[in-house]
Copies of this chain bind each other. A is one copy, B any other.
Amino acid sequence: MAAPTTGTRWVYDFIEGDRDQRALLGGKGAGIAEMTRVLGPGRVPAGFTVTTAACVSYLGNGGHVPDGLDEQVDEALARLEEQAGKRLGDPEDPLLVSVRSGARDSMPGMLDTVLNLGLNDASVDGLAARTGNARFAWDSYRRLVQMFGNVVRGVPGDVFEDEIKRIKMEYGATLDTDLDAEALRDLTMRFRRLYDFPTDPREQLEQAIRAVFDSWNGERAKSYRRINRIPEDWGTAVNVQQMVFGNKGATSGSGVAFTRDEITGAPEPSGDFLPDAQGEDVVSGVRNTRDLADLADWMPEVHTELLEVLRTLERHYKDMQDVEFTVEDGRLYLLQTRSAKRPAQAAVRFAVDAVQEGLLTPAEAIATVDAGALDALLHPTFDPGSNPPVLAHGVAASPGAAKGTIVFTAEAAVLAATEGRDVILVRPFTEAEDVAGFFAAKGVLTSEGGKASHAALVARGMGRPAVTGAAVLDIDLHAHEVRCDGTVLHEGDFIALDGTAGIVTVEDVPLVQPEIDERFETLLGWCDGLSRLQVRANADTPEDARRAHAFGATGIGLCRTEHMFMAADRQMKMRAMIMADDEAGRRDALDTLLPLQQRDFEGLFEEMAGLPVTIRLLDPPLHEFMPDQYEVREQLTRARLEWTWDLPELEELLQRMRALEEANPMLGTRGVRLGLLHPEVYEMQARAIARAFRAVRDRTGAAPLLEIMIPLVALEAELELARGRVVSTAREEGLEAGRDFAVGTMIELPRACLIADSIADHADFFSFGTNDLTQTTLGLSRDDIEGRILPTYYEEGLLERSPFETVDVDGVGELVRIACERGRRRHPDLETGVCGEHGGDPDSIRFFHAAGLDYVSCSPFRVPIARVAAAQAAIAGAR
C-alpha cells in the first residue's frame, strides 16, 4: 500500500474538534474536544489527538507510521508546551502528559492509560522541586515506569507487583502509602532494571503512540470487536493530554460533581471533593471526602466557577452530567463530563423537571431515562436506610422484596395463605406442581437455578419476588431445615429476601412500598403520546388484570389458561382428565373444570371492559400437570418391596406417566397438537370463554375485545382445523367470529414465520411467542443451557447477553421481520404483537417497534417500563 501523501492531517488539537468527529478523532478525542469547545480554552487540560486514520495507515503499512505524522506530533507538542508554559522533559519544570487510546466506540479494557509521561531521571527532580513533594514526584515516576513497562512493553504486571512486595518487606512497610520518597526512588530504579525504559520523553511518546496503534490488533481488542460487531478497519485514535495535579498543596484539590442531586434528582448540584488530592483519592474512598457545598467556604471563586460550568454543561449536553474536576494551584480544570448514572427516582425527576424548566422537550427528556432501571420503582424494596446482615447472596431472579415465615412445600404455602400468614416458599428448585405455592407465597427462594430457572420465570410472571441459586443454602426437604454456615432455620422461622438485589436475610427489615408518583405519571403520559407501539400485559387472573390496568396496560396480550389449572384444587381435576382412559372420561373431568374456568374468565373480562383480551388455549404438555416421576418411581419401588396396598394405583399412575413422558417435551405434544389430539380440551375452553363473555355482557352491558389464540402452530392446516372447531363451539354458545371475537395464532416456530402468508389466511392476529421462537431458532432449551452453557459463552465472548432477555435480532428478529412481511402481504389488516419476556425488555422493544408490530405484552410490573421504552423507540425511530 502506498503511503499517504504528506499533506494529510494526522493530528488535531483538542480545540479544533467537536463531538461529531468521532470517526476521525475517536469517542474520547471528540468528547474532550467538545468539552473544550463548550467551556472555552483553559478549562480543559490542553492536548491533541492522533487520528484513527493514522492508526489505519500504520497497521496497513506493516507498522510504519505515515509520512508527516512525526512532524505533526512535534508541532502539536510544541503548541502544547507553548500553551502550558512548560516543556516535555524539562529538568526544571517538566510538562507531563497522559496517553490514552480512543476508538470510535468505547472499547473498555483494550489499552490501559499511560500517565505521567515525560518524567525521567532528571525531570523527576524538577517535579519534586516545583511541587515541594519528593514523594509525589517519585511515586509519579514509579507509576510511569510501571505502566509503560506493562502497557507499552508487555512486561507482566506481577513482575512489578513482586518487586513492590519485596521492597515493602525490606522497608518494613505494610501499605504502599507507607513507602517514603527514598523507598520509591529505590523501587523506581529496580523497575528500571526490569526492561529498557526510554529516558527520552519524545521517545516515550512515540513508543506509547505505536503501542496504542498495535493494541488495536491485540487479542482482547479483537475479541471485544467480535462480540460488539465493531468493524476491523476503524482503528483507534490516540489522545495526548497535559497532566494536571490536584495534590500540589493547599490551593489544589480534586472532586466529582453532579449537575443535580445524584440520589433524588433534585435541582441542586451535588458531589464530593478533597483538597490536596488526586482524582483517584476521591473515588477510592481512602480519605473522607467533603461535600461539594464546602467548596464555597474553601475556595468561593472556584465554587462559583464550577456551578457555572455545571449549568453550561447540562444545558449543552441536555442531560444531567457527572463531571470530574481538578483544582491545580487555584485553577479549575474539567477532566471529564458524562451523562450521570442515576437511580430511577432521580431519572424520573430530572426528566420531568427538565421539561418544566424548558431545558428539554418531552421527547428529549424521555430519551434521558434508562427504561430498564425503572424496575426499582415498581416493587417493594428493603428500606434503603436499613443495612441488614446478609445470610446469603443469590441470583436477583424476580424483583421486589418480601418477608414471611419459611415453608418448604406448595401445600404448606397454600394452607398458610388460607390462614392469612405471610410465607416464603423455600425449595432447592421448583417444578410445575409447585406453582400453586407461588400464588400463595409472598416470595420464593431456591438454592439452585438462575434467571431462567422455572422458579425465576414463574415468579417474574406472577410478580412474586424471588432469589434463586443461593448456593450457600443447604435446603433439606427431608429434615425440613435450611442450613447455612452454622445457622439452621426451620419451617416457621422468619426470613426476608430482596429479589432486586439477590439478598437473603433473617432480619425483619422494613419494606418500602412502590408507587407511581405524580412525576412518574406525568412522564408516562408524555410517553403514551409519543409511542406507536401499544403496551398490553400478560395476566392470568383478575388480580393481575387490575394491576395491569393500574400500570397503564391497554389490554391483556396473553392470558395463559394453563395457569388457571395450576391452582391446588384444580390440579387434581386436571390430573383426573389426563388419567382418563378415553374421551368420555376426559369429558367428564373437563365438565367439572368448565365452570371454574368460566368464572376465571368472567373476572378477567369484567376488569378489561372495552379493551383487548387475548386468551391462549392450553399450551403446555399434559405431563406438566403430573407429579414428579422420580418420586412416584421411588414410592413404587418401596411399595413393591413392602407389598403395600397402593401398589396397583401407583403402577397405573406410573404407566400413564410413562405414556405421557417425552424425550423433549418442548418439542412434543403441546399447543395446538394437544388441542387436535384431544379436541374436547379446546372445546371446553372455547365454551367457557364464550359463556363467560355472554355472562359479563349480559350482566354489565360491556365486554372486552375478545381474541382467542391458538398456540404452537406449524402447519396452515393445524390452524384452519383448530380455528374451525373454536368458531363452531362459540357459535353453539351464541357468539360469532368476526362480530364478537377474533381468532389468531401464536407465531412461535420458525416454520410459522416462513409460511406466515398462508397462516395469515386463517388468523386475525399474530402474537409472536419469542420465548419458544428463540428456543427453536437457536436450538437452545432455556431450562438447560443457562447454567451450563451461557457462563462459558459470556467468558469466551461468544455472547453478550442471554437471547432470552434481549431478542436475538439477527436470527429470531429476522424471522419476525419475515413473518410480518409475509403475513401482511396476504392480510394487510393483520394485528401483530409480541408476548413473553422480551415484551418487557427495552432493547427488544426498540426492535419490535422497528419491525412494525402493533403492540408488546409483558408482565404487569414491566408495563410502565415498556411504555417508556415504546416511546423511546418511537423517538429514536423518528430521528
Q: Write the residues of chain A forming the contact surface with B, with a CB cutoff of 8 angstroms.
A: 226-227, 630, 633-634, 637-638, 641, 662-669, 673, 676-677, 712, 714-715, 717-718, 720-721, 748-751, 754-755, 772, 775-781, 783-785, 788-789, 792-793, 796-799, 808, 810-812, 814-815
Contact = CB atoms under 8 A, between A and B. Distances in A.
A667 B779 contact: yes
Given A664-B664, A754-B814, A776-B777, 6 more contacts: A637-B638, A664-B665, A668-B781, A717-B799, A751-B812, A754-B811
Nearest to A779: B749
Contacts of A754: 777, 810-811, 814-815
Contact of A775 (B667, B748, B793): B667
Contacts of A772: 779
Given A717-B227, A776-B750, A789 B673 contact: yes
A748 B780 CA distance: 12
A156 B812 CA distance: 52
B663 A781 contact: yes
A754 B818 CA distance: 11
Q: Chain A interface mostly helix, strand, loop or mixed?
A: helix
A714 B812 CA distance: 11
A227 B721 CA distance: 12
6 contacts: A712-B779, A718-B798, A749-B779, A751-B779, A754-B814, A755-B810
Contacts of A780: 667, 714
A789 B779 CA distance: 21
B668 A785 contact: yes
Given A641-B641, A663-B781, A677-B792, A715 B798 contact: yes
A789 B750 contact: no
A37 to B, nearest CB: 39
B226 A669 contact: no
Q: So how many copies of this chain end up in the complex?
A: 2
A448 to B, nearest CB: 11
Contacts of A720: 226
Which of A673, A721, A797 is the most central at the interface, judged by chain B CB atoms within 10 Å of its CB?
A673
Contacts of A641: 638, 641
Given A779-B712, A779-B749, A788 B717 contact: no
A784 B662 contact: yes
A449 to B, nearest CB: 12
B751 A798 contact: no
Given A667-B775, A779-B772, A781-B668, A717 B797 contact: yes
Given A638-B637, A641-B638, A668-B784, A676 B777 contact: no
B663 A663 contact: no
Which of A668, A751, A811, A812 is the most central at the interface, judged by chain B CB atoms within 10 Å of its CB?
A751
A132 to B, nearest CB: 55
A673 B781 CA distance: 12
Contacts of A712: 779
